[in-house]
Structure 1
């Protein structure tokens, strides 16, 4: 796959031994899901791969702050959803603790910032600085995701600092699906909300990403990379599984497909992943290079057999 970066390839080739058998204690792999469909999709891919290799995935639904604490305290082994730079403060905390390895940059080309629907763009809002003049049309509300999410915290800080004149606006916190349902219900009424790619919302909704939010979300409309983090102790104890995750690298089109299956078709994340894997055997060869099953058999063959059934 094009998304397999040279950095990830070098890491896989040099940092972790090939065909490394894991102890039976590595059989359960614990990781978390903040309730975002993109991470649910990639977690689903990981679960299918792990199960095909004889491991048991244990996925806990945890908010972003709680998920990072769980990783820091050894309650989970991995996190596939470290969005940077939006989650920089959590990374700073983990880096200071010295207990975490960055196994891979698993996605590039992502973005994450405020956006408006077609009615909002038609009202002339294309930049953060345009919002306050249209406060009444927007109801003075900005729709965010789940409470505690770093993006929500950035919005709340912007409101409290009265940046762009938004000091009297309200942040409405909800989950991803509730937020998107609000956008869908808005019809011809302007609405401003958190938007990101990859996500099928970019196909289903006429979205205009707002410029001007570099301070809050970073340049290039909150341009982001996503990273896989793991506990150092787990990496050392379970080198075979760690090698898999060091090579597990995605791309935006792939995630859009998987997320569409989950959101639009109601598919289970693992079912969507299994279907995609069956149609993309080259990805299996890339991700499973040098990886074995838990009992030491060739990993790629095991995964191909599992998804073909």
Structure 2
């Protein structure tokens, strides 16, 4: 009996350094936010769950190009916002480096292309090819998001190549909020801008997505999927956190709700996430299947306590 007890104690002692090493290596999870409300929403959900499990989420606000460089260079651990195919060139670069793993496709049913407001649709614009004939009404401007974003680059390339006769149009780069403020403020003026789903703009603004942009944004009105990326060495070192992220998938209605809380109600992303998680325990249970806290306790219990407390 003494020998058996000693064997158990030796086994436990041997496991302790591994657990300690993993906690030291994985205790902080670093990821980035490009300033898009959809990614802010999903980042907030991930932060609430990670914190409940004993991790410390460290979210840096980085533009898309800088965020990908940070992931490539090991300055961040994962990224929840790899929109495909719009960000294909960044994925190609990461794939060439061979250090990144795709953990999961976390969203389907997304779309991302140019759209017009009601005044633009009333002017007869339903396709990219319709724009140039109405240049004066649109003041020759296409409203984009933050500088450096792949979608802006696609628009600028289209202008530079004089596609659809848009060679003398101007791309106005700003950011998601500034762009939407422009559209809302000038609702009576025809406006063409980047639009996407999921996003509460689809509820707040009467939007017509433009056909004809398959070469620039992909078929099905820029139909897109979103993926979670992580560094391979981080996945190997932190299998518990990686398992959580590989099971964390979202849907368009969920993201619309969360984004509406953030944009329309001024709610903090984590506060919005807590409310959603408390109201959707079955989804949380699926995400946390086989996932523990950082110190090895049942993960689902910890998350339930955090969001219901």
The TM-score, its normalising length taken from structure 1, stands at 0.93
**Alignment-derived partner of residue 4 in structure 1:** none
Q: Deviations over 1:69-103 (max 9, x none)?
A: 00000000000000000000000000000000000
SS of 1:195's equivalent?
strand
Root-mean-square deviation (CA, aligned residues, Å) is 0.8
Conserved? CA contact 2:77–2:234, under 8 Å: yes
- 1:188 shift after superposition: 1.1
Give 1:31-70 correspondences, 5 Å limit.
Answer: 31-70=31-70
Higher relative contact order (CA 8 A, sep 6+): 1
Unaligned runs of 5+ in 2: 1-17
2:74 aligned with 1:92 = no
Structure 1 Cα separation of the partners of residues 284 and 292 of structure 2: 12
Structure 1 Cα separation of the partners of residues 29 and 283 of structure 2: 21
Q: Deviations over 1:94-116 (max 9, x none)?
A: 00000000000000000000000
Structure 2 Cα separation of the partners of residues 186 and 221 of structure 1: 24
- 1:232 shift after superposition: 0.3
**Alignment-derived partner of residue 207 in structure 1:** 207
Q: Deviations over 1:251-277 (max 9, x none)?
A: 000000000000000000000000000
Conserved? CA contact 2:118–2:187, under 8 Å: no
- 1:24 shift after superposition: 2.5
**Alignment-derived partner of residue 109 in structure 1:** 109
Conserved? CA contact 2:117–2:187, under 8 Å: no
Structure 2 Cα separation of the partners of residues 23 and 188 of structure 1: 56
**Alignment-derived partner of residue 238 in structure 2:** 238
**Alignment-derived partner of residue 276 in structure 1:** 276
Give 1:1-309 correspondences, 5 Å limit.
Answer: 22-309=22-309
SS of 1:23's equivalent?
helix
| Aligned residues between the structures | 290
- Which is helix-richer, 1 or 2? 2
The structure with the larger Rg is 2
Runs of 4+ in 1 over 6 A off after TM superposition: none
SS of 1:67's equivalent?
helix
Structure 2 Cα separation of the partners of residues 270 and 78 of structure 1: 18
Q: Which moved more, 1:138-147 or 1:181-190?
A: 181-190
SS of 2:187's equivalent?
coil
SS of 2:158's equivalent?
helix
